[in-house]
């Protein structure tokens, strides 16, 4: 669980475990959190395949509020977004 928390030795046999805060993607564009979480290649692959369900799943992993609208926009005119 050390990957999910900051663990510090505070005494001879005493450890302090502090959960890491959830990432905050507010204020980022649609693609910035995908880059920040290394999901952009999976997203690009799903967009090229026009895999609506996969695109929406990836967008939900980065807390994008309107996955359906964003997915629809990209798939309506994929060449505009490089797909």
**Of 35, 12, 33, 31, nearest in space to 23 by CA:** 33
Q: Which of 40, 47, 82, 81 is nearest to 61 (CA)?
A: 40
- If you average pLDDT over residues 18-39, what whole number do you get? 84
pLDDT tops 60 at residue 1: no
Whether 21 shows a pLDDT value over 80: the answer reads: no
CA 35 to chain centre: 8
pTM of the model: 0.69
- Give the whole-number percent of the chain exceeding pLDDT 90: 43
């Amino acid at each position: 669980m050390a990957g999910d928390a900051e663990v510090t030795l505070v005494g001879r046999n005493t450890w302090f475990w502090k959960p890491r805060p959830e990432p905050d993607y507010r204020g980022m564009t649609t693609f910035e959190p995908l880059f920040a979480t290394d999901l952009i290649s999976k997203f690009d692959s799903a967009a090229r395949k026009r895999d609506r369900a996969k695109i929406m799943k990836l967008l939900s992993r980065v807390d994008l509020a309107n996955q359906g609208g964003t997915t629809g926009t990209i798939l309506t005119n994929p060449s505009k977004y490089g797909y």
